[in-house]
Amino acid sequence: MKNFFSFHDVENINDLLANALEIKKNPFSQQEIGKNKTVGLLFFNPSLRTRVSSQKAAYNLGANVWVLNAGSDAWTLETEDGVVMNGDTQEHLKDAVRVLAKYCDLLGVRTFPKLQNKEYDYNEVLFHKILSESSVPVVSLETATLHPLQSFADLITVAEHSHFQSERKKVKVVLTWAPHPKKLPQSVPNSFAQWFSNVDWIDLTIVQPKGYELNPEFTQGAAIEYDQDKALEGADFVYAKNWSSYEHYGQILSQDESWTITMEKMKRTNNGKFMHCLPVRRNVIVTDEVLDSDYSLVTSEAENRIYSAQTVFHELLKNS
Ligand code: SN0
């Protein structure tokens, strides 16, 4: 692994998962890996779990950490090349990244999509500019189209709550669209689909209203449904998430409350568990009753963000 941007950077998912479960059992056993090393975390967008779990992951490895919120506590960065910078932007992204890479051995970066130009977002222009200027490995802390550390944490969580190894039976995971008042990225569901459709002990179903189909590049191998009640039948895990339309790019096409996950809907499942990456809009995506019940794994997923980050940082720092 040279950088960490998507599932394609993982050589063997079952090995990476086994490493994460091992690291979780013994999180402080590899402190020599991070000795005299620094992890830099650069945020262009807000964060709660990603920021703190990445810090914790680095500390567990014995590394130092700095965090910079480029959106609020740094110079306003210019991202376009070749511009005459006589306006509001104060420093070019190129210069900032070249310098920041000198201050760390690993650079984590968060960049959200603007949801205005599909091509710009799906070409991951900002992330690639950062990658090309960084002299150290770069880890995605969520980009315009993917959120791989979240998907990896979700996979750790599903593995911990599955009996797949003993029963040799596939686990049914349902990714369902749910309503939301704002237009949100497709990063979390794209990434979830990419990871979960590539794991041989998982059967993934994706259910959404018409017009909310994700980019097929990420959903290959998953069953695609439009009837939520039907999709939930027999589910072992229900992963709810809102996303804006990919086809009608960035638009909200529906706010249909009948897609909110309720206890009644959870009862259709195979005693299934509820999952969401957080932050969650309570009683919009899912009811309080489900979130506060034993069905909910959301806090465990967030806890596992430490171990997904630590496993990936470990892979990248061990060679640096
Ligand atoms: C982000 C998203 O990609 O959907 C981050 C998820 C890890 N979520 C939000 O932006 C939610 C914001 C809101 O208004 O609820």
The pLDDT profile of the chain, 320 residues, written as one tens digit per residue, is 999 999 999 999 999 999 999 999 999 999 999 999 999 999 999 999 999 999 999 999 999 999 999 978 889 999 999 999 999 999 999 999 999 999 999 999 999 999 999 999 999 999 999 999 999 999 999 999 999 999 999 999 999 999 755 666 899 999 999 999 999 999 999 999 999 999 999 999 999 999 999 999 999 999 999 999 999 999 999 999 999 999 999 999 999 999 999 999 999 999 999 999 999 999 999 999 999 999 999 999 999 999 999 999 999 999 88
**26 CA distance to ligand 1 middle (Å):** 31
Claim to verify: residue 13 and residue 115 sit in the same structural domain: yes
Phi, psi for 41 (deg, rounded to 5):
-125, 115
Amino acid at 31: Q
**pLDDT score for 171:** 95
Claim to verify: residue 182 and residue 246 sit in the same structural domain: yes
Task: Look at ligand 1, atom 5, and give the residue with the nearest C-alpha.
Answer: 279
Claim to verify: residue 72 and residue 203 sit in the same structural domain: no
186/243 Cα distance (integer angstroms): 5
Amino acid at 176: T
Claim to verify: residue 114 and residue 220 sit in the same structural domain: no
**pLDDT score for 163:** 72
**pLDDT score for 2:** 95
Task: Look at ligand 1, atom 14, and give the residue with the nearest C-alpha.
Answer: 182
Q: Which atom of ligand 1 is nearest to the CA of 281?
A: 15
- Residue 304: which of 7, 106, 6, 24 has the closest Cα? 24
Judge whether 154 lies within some domain: no
Is pTM beyond 0.85 here? Answer: yes
Q: Which atom of ligand 1 is nearest to the CA of 182?
A: 14
Q: Which atom of ligand 1 is nearest to the CA of 49?
A: 7
We report the CATH number of the domain holding residue 137 as 3.40.50.1370
Domain that holds residue 312: 7-146+305-319
Place of tokens 């809102």: 242
CA angle, 231 as apex, 208 and 209 as ends, to 5°? 15
Judge whether 168 lies within some domain: yes
Claim to verify: residue 181 and residue 62 sit in the same structural domain: no
Tell me which residues have their CB closer than 6 angstroms to ligand 1. Answer: 182, 184-185, 187-188, 277, 279, 281
117/166 Cα distance (integer angstroms): 47
129/125 Cα distance (integer angstroms): 6
Judge whether 153 lies within some domain: no
Judge whether 2 lies within some domain: no
256/6 Cα distance (integer angstroms): 31
- Residue 185: which of 206, 215, 221 has the closest Cα? 215
**pLDDT score for 167:** 64
Judge whether 151 lies within some domain: no
Q: Which atom of ligand 1 is nearest to the CA of 241?
A: 4
Claim to verify: residue 101 and residue 215 sit in the same structural domain: no
Judge whether 237 lies within some domain: yes
Task: Look at ligand 1, atom 9, and give the residue with the nearest C-alpha.
Answer: 184
320/308 Cα distance (integer angstroms): 19
Token digits of residue 299 = 């806090």
Judge whether 36 lies within some domain: yes
Top mutation candidate among 114, 184, 242 for ligand 1, by most atoms within 8 Å of CB? 184
Claim to verify: residue 234 and residue 136 sit in the same structural domain: no
Phi, psi for 94 (deg, rounded to 5):
-55, -50
145 neighbors 187 (Cβ within 8 angstroms): yes
**pLDDT score for 320:** 81
Q: What is the 3-state secondary structure (H, E, C) of the chain?
A: CCCECCHHHCCCHHHHHHHHHHHHHCCCCCHHHHCCCEEEEEECCCCCHHHHHHHHHHHHCCCEEEEEECCCCCCCEECCCCCCCCCCCCEEHHHHHHHHHHHCCEEEEECCCCCCCHHHHHCCHHHHHHHHHCCCCEEECCCCCCCHHHHHHHHHHHHHCCCHHHHCCCEEEEEEECCCCCCCCCHHHHHHHHHHCCCCCEEEEEECCCCCCCCHHHHCCCEEECCHHHHHCCCCEEEEECCCCCCCCCCCCCCCHHHCECHHHHCCCCCCEEECCCCCCECCCECHHHHCCCCECHHHHHHHHHHHHHHHHHHHHCCC
193 neighbors 171 (Cβ within 8 angstroms): no
Judge whether 224 lies within some domain: yes
Q: In the chain, how many domains are there?
A: 2
Claim to verify: residue 171 and residue 75 sit in the same structural domain: no
Region of 177 on the Ramachandran plot (φ > 0 left; ψ -120 to 50 alpha; else beta): beta
Residue-level length of the chain: 320
Claim to verify: residue 69 and residue 200 sit in the same structural domain: no
Claim to verify: residue 16 and residue 114 sit in the same structural domain: yes
Claim to verify: residue 142 and residue 195 sit in the same structural domain: no
Claim to verify: residue 116 and residue 178 sit in the same structural domain: no
